[in-house]
Amino acid sequence: MEKLIITGAICGAEVTKEHNPNVPYSVEEIGREAESTYNAGASIIHLHVREDDGTPTQSKKRFKVCIEEVKKRCPDVIILPSTGGAVGMTNEERLQPIYLDPSPEMATLDCGTMNWLGGDEIFVNTIKTIIYFAEEMNKRGIKYELECFDKGMIDIALRLHEKGYIKAPMHFNLVLGVIGGMNATPRDLLYLISSLPEDCTYSVTGIGRYEFSMATISIIMGGHVRVGFEDNLYLSKGVLAKSNGELVEKVVRITNELGREIATPNEAREILGLK
């Protein structure tokens, strides 16, 4: 079985210090949390950025200084910027981090539109948007992580692959437990995994209390894992995590018990076809 790639999603766009005071906003805080995640065993940092007051932003300038801070602390880590941004942002806003120089090695690519968190918000990703994002990433040699919140999004990605817009080797992130997407149950996760092509790689993200149960299934099935404050703020029921690193350390303990090795950043590059 391949070594396990752990992604740390260190802040997201939704959670705040009111939810957990350790959620990072500032450049220094983002660097600190990336370092804690990396030192615990993560080889990828999934990066959203915030203004110092916590406002989510896709500012190219803000991404640049945050990436420089992360790379200063973790020189070999893979940085995976979000192009999802926050609900309501334009396509142009969302795409800003892919235009950095140098280009990031990877970036997210959301594969469908969905109701978002049970309210009035809709996270819009039309087919034209998905194609546009893929083409812009293709021009820059950026590998996409295909974000899929339900089976229909996998189908969209596969259709666009058949049409030549999405290139192989494909890497999926299966996100379960978001209100508006698929439930985080073993049945639903196994259904999604069984819907993937054999020659792809995939990571699994469980939201909230489902983070570690979904991670464990992925570890057993040969997939990879994402954890972090973006998805879950708690180390265990009622116990707030002090850092993203604590969440990664828990995954590492589970992985060690199950007899699977952890990938370094360079090993992750080999597995994902980045080299």
State the chain's mean pLDDT as an integer: 97
Q: If you search the block for the tokens 């090695």, which residue do you land on?
A: 105
Q: Is 274's pLDDT higher than 90?
A: yes
pLDDT of residue 117: 82
Q: How confident is the model at residue 124 (pLDDT cuts 50, 70, 90)?
A: very high
pLDDT digits (tens, 9 = 90+) for 188-207: 999 999 999 999 999 999 99
Are 182 and 150 in contact, with CB atoms under 8 Å apart?
yes
- Does position 25 have pLDDT exceeding 90, yes or no? yes
Residue 197 — left, alpha, or beta (φ > 0 → left; ψ -120 to 50 → alpha)? beta
pLDDT over threshold 80, residue 59: yes
pLDDT number for residue 54: 97
Label residue 214 by pLDDT band (50, 70, 90): very high
In angstroms, how far apart are the furthest CA atoms of the chain? 47
User: Which pLDDT value is given to residue 2?
Assistant: 94
Would you place residue 119 in the very low, low, confident or very high pLDDT band (cuts 50, 70, 90)? confident
CATH topology of domain 6-272: TIM Barrel (3.20.20)
pTM of the model: 0.97
Pick the closest to residue 7 from 270, 215, 221, 199 (CA basis): 215
Assess whether pLDDT exceeds 90 at residue 90.
Answer: yes
Read out DSSP for 189-251?
HHHHHHTS-TT-EEEEEE-GGGHHHHHHHHHHHT-EEEESTTT--EEETTEE-S-HHHHHHHH
What is the pLDDT averaged over residues 108-129?
93
Average pLDDT over residues 223-249: 98
Distance of alpha carbon 233 from alpha carbon 248, whole angstroms: 12
Confidence of residue 1 (pLDDT cuts 50, 70, 90): confident
User: Taking 90 as the threshold, does the pLDDT of residue 58 lie above it?
Assistant: yes
pLDDT value for 137: 98
What is the mean predicted confidence (pLDDT) over 233-259?
A: 97
Check if the beta carbon of residue 145 is closer than 8 Å to that of residue 173: yes
Q: Could you report the per-residue pLDDT of 131-164, keeping only the tens digit for each?
A: 999 999 999 999 999 999 999 999 999 999 999 9
Q: Has residue 107 got a pLDDT over 90? A: yes
